[in-house]
Amino acid sequence: MGLTAKSTGKSLLTLEPDLKALQETALVVALAGNPNTGKSTVFNSLTGLKQHTGNWPGKTVGLSVGKYIFQDHEFSLIDLPGTYSLFSDSVEEEIARDFICFNKPDVTVIVVDGSCLERNLHLVLQILEITTQVVICVNLLDEAKSKGIDINLSKLAKILGIKVVGTVARNGMGLEALKKAILLTATKKREPPVISTFSLLYDSNLEQMISEGIKLFAANDLNDHYKRWLALRFLDSDYTLANKLKQLQLANGNTNEILIYEQFCSKGFSGDIRENIVHTLYKTAETIAKSVTTHKAKPNLRINLDKIITSKALGIPIMLLFLGLVFWLTIIGANYPSQFLSNCFSALEDYLLFIFKALNSPAWLTGLLILGVYRTLAWVVSVMLPPMAIFFPLFTLLEDWGFLPRIAFNLDNFFRKAGAHGKQSLSMCMGFGCNAAGAVACRIIDSPRERLIAILTNNFVPCNGRFPTLLTLITLFVSGSGVRGSLSGSLVMVALVVSAIIITLATSKLLSMTLLRGLPSSFALELPPFRKPQIGRILMRSLLDRTLFLLSRAVVVAAPAGLIIWLLANFGLADKTFLEILTNFLAPLGRIIGLDGVILAGFILGLPANEIVLPIIFMAYTSSGSLIELESLTATKTLLINNNWTLLTALCTIIFSLNHFPCATTLLTIKKETQSWYWSVLAFVIPTVIGLITCSLVAFCYRLFFA
Amino acid sequence: METYYALNQFPLNSWGQIVYIKESAKMRRRLWDLGFTNGAAIKALYVSPSGNPKAYLIRGSVIALRNEDAGAIIISPKEKGSTSWD
């Protein structure tokens, strides 16, 4: 489903690998294939940890580049986006096509799902029309076998005239053979040494047009195979290819192929021949697949499991159960390591204070660095790391298993009615972990309109940084403690989550009727078979790619925030600190929306990370000058009540926590993902306005009836 | 006599063959790429809890389509011949 590390993790941060430079130093291998064929497992198994993720230049499509050495040759492996076709109807397809066609990799490895050969061969045939420097990796042979499918690999190799290797990438089977086939193909030492004798023939009409078209290339120094492909693309009026050629060739001062494109158009060649092309490709794929596979029907377990997961009675409850379990494990499981980390950090703090004292550091410096920067950092890390380190692996587990597409399938109807895409349910779930990760996860939605809707509304679901705040306030003011309390607290929490989802859908609907008007675009969702998750890989990937990455980003924003907050709390004008001046200034607005100046200041200063909102509020109430954590819930409640908190204050704080501007990390991410200031500003404004309005309404009604 | 169905109304678990995809289908090209071409064998597999979308088995993989999109695909019932998948 593409919600992989690549699309949700480190890719935010990085460099765009210099593809040209790579090509000069190593043999370049492009990895192509349909989605869900285990392509990234092949990639990871070949490169190990020697990989680098980023974005394709100028695009928000993830790019992974890795290296490996085989028999003294260095190989650079480029993971192309997973696509069903290369007709450039989407950005991913265009990227994959352009790379194969213009970067001319030494070898293109096409990863093919052995249990679904026919559909996969469609892409193979398309790539073979561009280049014959191809190795086919028939992956998931174990799955094929369990479905009773047996593939005659050498026959397939013979038909296509290229190397074909069978693999089970998840356990490493066949990878050595794959490396060898890549080497032989790259160094052109393969046997049989000649280019494929295979050629794909269209109907006589189209073939006639192709051969006439090829004549226009007579003066060009291109090989016949490539000429045929270009002619075919021009006949299919592929203007994106023409544009690309124009761009490249103007740069070289050579406009031959463009002139030829124009000749194609003026001769009236171009037209709608796509159906004809696809039809022939699939017919050929069907014939080949039939001739190389033997198939014994076996009972199919997956469909039975799917019947249950998508059933009317159990579908939604099962899904809620799984998601509930993930959240519950995250919240409960995070407590202990959080406490542990926080103890470690505070021990370290004492130690640091001692050193600073021994060095005779002036009080302001100690305060600034230790009580300001260090304490904020430590807070953010100890509150943020454990839930993320639990949530993301669990989520990836569901993803690896194949559960996520089923969620999108079950929930699509709600999102369809809101003018959005079913896969938004997944970016939304990701948002429960971290809204920044959620915004990146929206990449799995391929249509731009629906993707923007998903990005702009992601912030409405509370992330791990807001859950603790919500839990604390619910326990203190709504449910009380004890068994009954925790039960009713859970119910309130569920109600909050449900209301967050309703607001997400309502805002999506609103956006799709106003700013993002448009026809709902196509929804075609593949439901791959359930697969045994690869636990080791999950831990590795989600820890490296999501958790540590997000943490590093949070640390980058938390350190300066700690500095600013400390300065505000410790310096001032006359006898008032800047923080007091700020809270006094915000007090009237705070009152209107059921909060007070301090709470509002907490939200504003907590922009870098939602985790520090409550600590800032406590700090301001106690005028303590640095972030503090209170010993017990009772102490917290006493402090809040002494500062005039009522049920209304708690309620409005909860509502505002759910509906206010995204944190700085999320905003930066949204800017990166949308590549637009306009949408980033809207992502800030929309939830804030909704929060302000809702809170003032609630405050108004509450005061009307209860005060 | 042959009966034609819109794909979204095709009975579950029976095999059919794609006869035609309406030109108005906004996702025609996408459907072609996924293997929904004239003559392809297809089976309706299961339905999401709310009845929309539904999932279909085509060329060895399971693809979910919304009813309004599937409605543009015309099917005639036909026993599945030999295929390389199931």
Residue with tokens 């459907």: B31
Of B30, B39, B61, nearest to A522 by CB-CB distance is B30
Cβ-Cβ contacts under 8 Å, B69 against chain A: 522-524
Q: Which of A36, A410, A527, A530 to mutate to test the interface with B (most CBs of B within 10 A)?
A: A527
The secondary element (H helix, E strand) that includes residue A11 is none
Q: Is residue B66 part of a domain?
A: yes
In degrees, to the nearest 5, what angle opens at C-alpha A274 toward C-alphas A269 and A277? 100
Q: Quick one: pLDDT at residue A12?
A: 36
Sort strands A576-577 and A572-573 into parallel, antiparallel or unpaired.
antiparallel
A527 touches B: beta carbon within 8 Å:
yes
> Whose CA is closest to A524, among B73, B16, B9, B6?
B73
Q: Is residue B82 part of a domain?
A: no
Pairwise CA distance, residues A419 & A245, whole Å: 37
Nearest-Cα distance to chain A for B54, in Å, is 8
Task: Please answer whether residues A436 and A557 qualify as being in contact, where contact means their C-beta atoms are separated by less than 8 angstroms.
Answer: no
Residues of chain A in contact with residue B79, where contact means CB-CB under 8 angstroms, are none
The token duo for A93 is 């397809």
DSSP code, position A70: E
User: Is B33 near chain A, with CB under 8 Å?
Assistant: yes
Q: What is the model's pLDDT at position A288?
A: 94
Neighboring chain A residues of B32 at a CB cutoff of 8 Å: 274-275, 278-279
Residue B64 lies in a domain: yes
The residues, ordered by sequence, that sit 6+ positions from A118 with a Cβ below 8 Å of its Cβ are A282, A285, A286, A289, B35, B59, B60, B83, B84, B85
Please tell me if residue A521 touches chain B, with a CB cutoff of 8 Å: yes
Structural domain includes residue B50: yes
Print the domain residue range for B14. Answer: 5-77
Nearest chain A Cα distance for residue B8, angstroms: 14
Interface of A with B in 396-455 (CB under 8 A): 405, 409-410, 412-414, 416, 422
Q: Is A661 left (phi over 0), alpha (psi -120 to 50) or beta?
A: beta
Q: Which of A648, A660, A662, A659 is nearest to A595 (CA)?
A: A648
Among the listed residues A507, A513, A521, the one whose alpha carbon sits nearest the alpha carbon of residue A457: A507
User: Rounded to whole angstroms, how far apart are CA atoms A686 and A460?
Assistant: 10
Low-confidence residues in chain A, pLDDT < 70: 1-23, 189-197, 250-259, 268-271, 298-303, 481, 707
Residue of A nearest to B37 (CA): A279
Total number of domains in chain B: 1
B60 in reach of chain A (CB within 8 A): yes
The SS3 assignment for A52 reads: strand
Distances (CA, A) of B73 to A233, A350, A410, A554, A562: 26, 71, 22, 49, 59
Any B CB within 8 A of A274 CB? yes
Q: How far is B46 from chain A (nearest CA, A)?
A: 7
Residue A37: closest C-alpha in chain B: B61
Contacts of B67 in chain A (CB under 8 A): none
Is A237 exposed, middle or buried, given 0-12, 13-18 or 19+ CB atoms closer than 10 A?
Answer: middle
Residue A88 near residue A241, CB atoms below 8 Å: yes
- List domains and CATH numbers for chain A: 5-186 (3.40.50.300), 204-295 (no CATH), 316-706 (no CATH)
Q: Which of these, A144, A162, A272, A288, lies nearest to A225 by C-alpha position?
A: A162
Per-residue model confidence as pLDDT tens digits over A207-258: 988 888 888 877 777 788 888 888 888 888 888 888 888 777 766 666 666 6
Give a yes or no: residue B16 inside a domain. yes
Q: What CATH code is carried by the domain that includes residue B25?
A: 2.30.30.90
The structure tokens 């599937």 sit at B70
Q: Name the closest residue on chain B to residue A282, using Cα atoms.
A: B35
Is the model's pLDDT at B72 over the cut of 80?
yes
What CA dihedral angle connects A570, A573, A574 and A576, to 10 degrees?
-50
Q: Which of B1, B66, B13 is CA-nearest to residue B44?
A: B13
Contact partners, residue A633, CB within 8 Å, separation at least 6: A472, A475, A476, A481
> Is residue B85, in this structure, part of any structural domain at all?
no
Q: Using one digit for the tens of pLDDT, what is the confidence trace for A439-472?
A: 999 999 988 899 999 999 999 999 988 988 898 8
Contact call for A527 and B64, based on CB within 8 A: yes
Cβ contacts below 8 Å, chain A against chain B, sum to 144
Q: How many whole angstroms separate alpha carbon A460 and alpha carbon A457?
A: 6
In order of A155, A169, A414, A476, A542, the CA distances from A301 in angstroms are: 30, 22, 29, 48, 29
Asked if A290 and B83 come within 8 Å (Cβ–Cβ), the reply is yes
Contact criterion met (CB < 8 Å) for A422 and B59: no
pLDDT at res. A79:
93
Say whether residue A49 is in contact with chain B using an 8 A CB cutoff: no
- For residue A193, the tally of other CB atoms under 10 A from its CB is 8
Q: Is A484 on the interface with B (CB under 8 A)?
A: no
Residue A299 in contact with partner chain B when CB distance is under 8 A: no
> What gap in Å lies between CA A101 and CA A84, rounded to an integer?
17
* A286 touches B at CB < 8 Å: yes
> By the 8 A CB rule, do A242 and A258 touch?
yes
Measure CA of the first residue to CA of the last residue in chain A; give whole Å: 53
